[in-house]
Structure 1
Amino acid sequence: MTLIGEFILLGFPELHGMRMVFFAVVLLLYLIAVSGNCLILTVVFLEPKLHMPMYFFLSSFSVGEFCGTTVVVPKMLTNILLDQNTICFTCCMTQVFVTFFIGATQFINLTVMSFDRYTAICKPFLYNSMMTNGLCLHLTLLAWVGGFILIFCQSVVVWMYPYCGYNVIDHFFCDVGPILKVACADTTLVELIGFFYGIIIMWGSFISSLVSYACIIYAIIQIPSITGRSKAFSTCSSHLTVVCIFYSAMFFMYLKPSTQGDSHINKVVYLVTIVVLPALSPFIFTLRNKDFQVALHKVMSKRNHNPFSFATQLLKHCSSQS
């Protein structure tokens, strides 16, 4: 039985005096995140030379970044702009599900990307035969379907709890910990289940990535030339940077009982992962990537040469694929 029709999100009350400055900063970062990830998807889609496993998995990760930030930030910006702090019950529960579904998917995506880099560096002669189009598609489906299955059942349980009194959530979005704090029932069991889910998803993904990178680093050390070592490391340095930031933030926030911890610190850390990291990751993945830079220059040159060529090329590509 649900008696609450909406929740109140406290957000960052200490920044109320700088509300419009905060709005401008978050909006700018959101636009950078959306533009950067859409640019990655567009360039990879249009440039045949980027139709390879590494960029296929990067595209999947970019879709996750886009969805993860879009499910939270527009509502956050609306509340800041209109100086309101409410969210409907259904919207709140949808936010909980989509946020954690995307989060679980991104963990698996990062693991798959680690496996791809391990295969490319440690087994270069077998790479093309191992990383076939079929395997890439199956691994990507594993990430999205697996993330959905892992989170759906737990989200249904959270949705079915009775919420019948206090409806103030000390967060800027509907995070599961603050939600469970206002439930009119004992949430110990679902918190423990969520904690163990976190251990399975996060630690399983982290250990897999750690083993992959241990093998990668060992293989790079065995390369005799400094130029060879530098080139090999550059192919995985961007992914390693995102892995370090992503896992550090998620371990800090979620590998503890859901309703525990300093809410102010959690909000700041989650703001980094949901706003700052999606804005930075396109640059991290492409800044030192010469193949992507060449492909981007080629796509932009065609577009500047003929204003309609970009749309025409996109339509032709879609037609050929169908």
Structure 2
Amino acid sequence: MENMNVSSIKEFILVGFSEAPPIQHLLFVVFLFIYIITVIGNFSIISAYKFTSDLHTPMYFFLANFSFLEICYISATVPKLLSSLLLQDKSISFFGCVVQMFCFLLLGGTECYMLAAMAYDRYNAICHPLLYGTIMNKRTCLGLIAVSWVSGTINSLTHTVLTFALSFCGANAINHFFCDIPPLLDLACSSTEINEIVLLVACGCVIVSAFLLTIASYVRIISAILNIKSTSGRKKAFSTCASHLIVVALFYGSATFMYFRPKSSYSMNKDRLIAALYAFIAPLLNPFIYSLRNNDVKVAVKKIFCRIFLVQRY
């Protein structure tokens, strides 16, 4: 971290999506709406799990933790983006940029392994139904969540330290809406060769490994589903996994495109749109994907809102 102290840049400028004030006002409304709906939707799933005893199962335990993660994930970028759009102040301090990158990478890496843990849970529920309660006990569930957070922390700390150990002495305009690795590497005055290698290796260790674990679980799940004789049984088994598969495809598709490639292929104008998929859209769709396809969650959420309405009324 020695080079960090000699960097001549004290703050960065987040260019964002547009410099035109009318468009910025429209974007403020759009992103504020996305943020509010995301927080309310994911918080509803957490509340449904907490206040509905029927949902106190490993599947919904992971879903509640995933919803909490999504709230934190979108909160790492959107509040600062909303502030810059509303106040026309696009600056972010050097330390603020460090914190934002660390939090975003921490939550993104954690999400990779949490998706793998959720796939492992579905694998045991479908392939080992009689042993499911024994395998997915409280200790196992907590252990999988802990491993996800520890893995995300190690990955984030590695990239954050390496990125801000670089020397930043020239331009300070980040062609992005948050402090991310690719646009910061473009601003560095010193060599970024090690950073690029570590980025590719880390993508292999985090994104690819977690993705392969997820796919391995689903290969066995699909195989088990195809062996179910009744059509209704196959349909019911697949419906419990379809929502998770949609989230996996959206998250891994956009994240892999963003990070698992050499620096020469970076295009910040396109990358901003790709980053928006996993930074904004995925957390927004999460509660709808899971709740709209899950009657238990829908019923639990409706009951909670009815209770709130009755309390306010009387």
1:298 is aligned, of 283, 294, 303, to 303
Q: CA deviation at 1:32?
A: 0.6
Whether 1:54 aligns to 2:59 is yes
SS of aligned partner of 1:64: helix
2:35 is aligned, of 20, 30, 33, to 30
In 2, Cα distance between equivalents of 1:215 and 1:167? 49
Q: What is the correspondence of 1:1-322 to structure 2 with a 5 Å cutoff?
A: 1-13=6-18, 16-258=21-263, 260-307=265-312
The answer for unaligned runs of 5 or more in structure 2 is: 1-5
In 1, Cα distance between equivalents of 2:40 and 2:302? 16
Query: Is the 2:42–2:67 contact (alpha carbons within 8 Å) kept by the matching residues of 1?
Result: yes
Q: CA deviation at 1:260?
A: 3.6
Q: CA deviation at 1:259?
A: 6.3
Gap change, CA 1:294 and 1:13, over 3 Å in 2? closer
SS of aligned partner of 1:306: helix
Query: Is the 1:101–1:147 contact (alpha carbons within 8 Å) kept by the matching residues of 2?
Result: yes
**Paired residue type of 2:34:** L
In the comparison of the two structures, how many residue pairs are matched? 309
**Paired residue type of 1:46:** F
Partner residue, 1:320: none
In 2, Cα distance between equivalents of 1:15 and 1:142? 44
In 1, Cα distance between equivalents of 2:24 and 2:117? 40
- Normalising by structure 1, we get a TM-score of 0.92
- Normalising by structure 2, we get a TM-score of 0.94
Partner residue, 1:316: none
Runs of 4+ residues over 4 Å off in structure 1:
none
In 2, Cα distance between equivalents of 1:291 and 1:13? 42
In 1, Cα distance between equivalents of 2:264 and 2:81? 22
Q: CA deviation at 1:125?
A: 0.9
In 2, Cα distance between equivalents of 1:129 and 1:256? 41
Partner residue, 2:3: none
Moved more, 76-85 or 123-132: 76-85
Q: CA deviation at 1:24?
A: 0.8
SS of aligned partner of 2:92: strand
Q: Provide the identity percentage.
A: 38
Q: CA deviation at 1:251?
A: 1.0
State the Cα deviation string for residues 1-45 of structure 1 (Å, max 9, x = none): 122111111112266442211111111011111111111111111
Q: CA deviation at 1:258?
A: 4.6
In 2, Cα distance between equivalents of 1:55 and 1:189? 41
In 1, Cα distance between equivalents of 2:290 and 2:79? 25
SS of aligned partner of 1:164: coil
Query: Is the 2:105–2:155 contact (alpha carbons within 8 Å) kept by the matching residues of 1?
Result: no
CA-based RMSD = 1.6
Partner residue, 1:312: none
Query: Is the 1:177–1:260 contact (alpha carbons within 8 Å) kept by the matching residues of 2?
Result: no
State the Cα deviation string for residues 42-70 of structure 1 (Å, max 9, x = none): 11111111111111111121121111110
State the Cα deviation string for residues 78-119 of structure 1 (Å, max 9, x = none): 111112321111111111111111110000000000000011
SS of aligned partner of 1:87: strand
SS of aligned partner of 2:178: coil
Partner residue, 1:319: none
Query: Is the 2:199–2:260 contact (alpha carbons within 8 Å) kept by the matching residues of 1?
Result: no
SS of aligned partner of 1:185: coil
**Paired residue type of 1:193:** V
In 2, Cα distance between equivalents of 1:193 and 1:231? 42
Gap change, CA 1:259 and 1:84, over 3 Å in 2? farther
